[in-house]
Amino acid sequence: MAKAIKFDHIGGPDVMYPQTVEVGDPGPGQVRLRHLAVGLNYADTYFRNGTYPIPLPNGLGVEAAGIVEELGEGVTQVAVGDRVTYTGFTNTLGAYSTERLIDAAPLIKLPQGISLETAAAMTMRGLTSAYLLRRIYPFKTGDAILLHAAAGGVGLIVSQWAKLLGLTVIGTTSTDAKAELARAHGCDFTINYTHEDVTKRVREITHGVGVNVVFDSVGQATFEASLDSLKRRGLMVCVGTASGPVPPFNPHILARKGSLYLTRPALADYIADPIEKSELAAEVFDHIAAGRIQIEINQRYALDQAVQAHRDLEARKTTGSSIFLI
């Protein structure tokens, strides 16, 4: 019998509970997958607290890595014994488990240079970083970005990748320790938002010009400062709402602040095309296998520690990536 983390009503971390489940045989287009590592992402809390509505009861987690154990009818893209990883949205929900059935379509075969733990820690974060830096904006050498939560899992990857592209990276953090970690992974400048004026510091660093792009995963608490940190016709990329959703606003504010652009992208729309997903994944894996990008797995939990893991995540006690070891 397999084990899984379930919840039957929305709320805080305590709504999650372990359950023994019968996995069964894979149907057409499915595989039975044995997990060895499961990714812990902030998006998991959005399913749990109702920000992303889903039918209940349900499972949690959208990212994991493991070994293909059995194939359903018609599956040809993977074989029994393959090492695979996956990420997605509702199509992959249920990753907090030791074993599961899953459609074969989201599965990505792992190259030899990428461990299962690394894959679980970076598939969502790596693909997110890939589309942010390779699809959202036509970056060129010398461009500047403001990166909120620079010591987080996505932040550390984006910082390293941005330096490979010749960008100037300004990162925000909440502690000096997180600032040190961010600088060690490519941030040229760090701003401690607990006691520094983010917009003022950005303007000082950029000599009054502002940054080309802001990557804002915080949301409500940073929205105004993010807009005010952009250069004329700069791009605001809302990639998360860790502090709460951005309140409704009049789009005219974008004109008043310099004819700004704003987007709220979702990873699912950048990996919906299998060819594009393969291209982005290959680029991420290549950087990691070559050592150009390091994946920091700074928190490891057992699956039955899911409640504590969510508490740590929401209390901003984590840095880098977090995984469940199966």
Task: Render pLDDT for 62-104 as a digit per residue (tens, 0 to 9).
Answer: 999 999 999 999 999 999 999 999 999 999 999 999 999 999 9
What are the boundaries of each domain within the chain?
Answer: 2-124+272-325, 137-264
Q: Is 77 helix (H, G, I), strand (E, B) or coil?
A: coil
Task: Render pLDDT for 55-64 as a digit per residue (tens, 0 to 9).
Answer: 999 999 999 9
Question: At a CB cut-off of 8 Å and minimum separation 6, what does 308 contact?
Answer: 13, 301
φ/ψ of residue 282, rounded to 5: -60, -40
Q: Is 264 helix (H, G, I), strand (E, B) or coil?
A: coil
d(CA 100, CA 3): 9
The domain defined by 2-124+272-325 carries CATH number 3.40.50.300: no
DSSP class of 313: H
Task: Render pLDDT for 242-268 as a digit per residue (tens, 0 to 9).
Answer: 888 999 999 999 999 999 999 999 999
Residue 322 confidence class, pLDDT cut points 50, 70, 90: very high
d(CA 87, CA 75): 18
pLDDT at 242: 85
Task: Render pLDDT for 224-248 as a digit per residue (tens, 0 to 9).
Answer: 999 999 999 999 999 988 888 999 9
The domain defined by 137-264 carries CATH number 3.40.50.720: yes
pLDDT at 243: 86
d(CA 214, CA 230): 7
Sign of CA dihedral 164, 168, 174, 180: positive
pLDDT at 303: 98
Averaged pLDDT score across all residues of the chain: 96
Please state, for a pLDDT cut of 70, what percent of the chain lies above it: 100
Task: Render pLDDT for 174-213 as a digit per residue (tens, 0 to 9).
Answer: 999 999 999 999 999 999 999 999 999 999 999 999 999 9
d(CA 256, CA 263): 17
Lookup result for tokens 């860790």: 242
Q: Average the pLDDT over 6-32 and give the result.
A: 98
Question: At a CB cut-off of 8 Å and minimum separation 6, what does 112 contact?
Answer: none
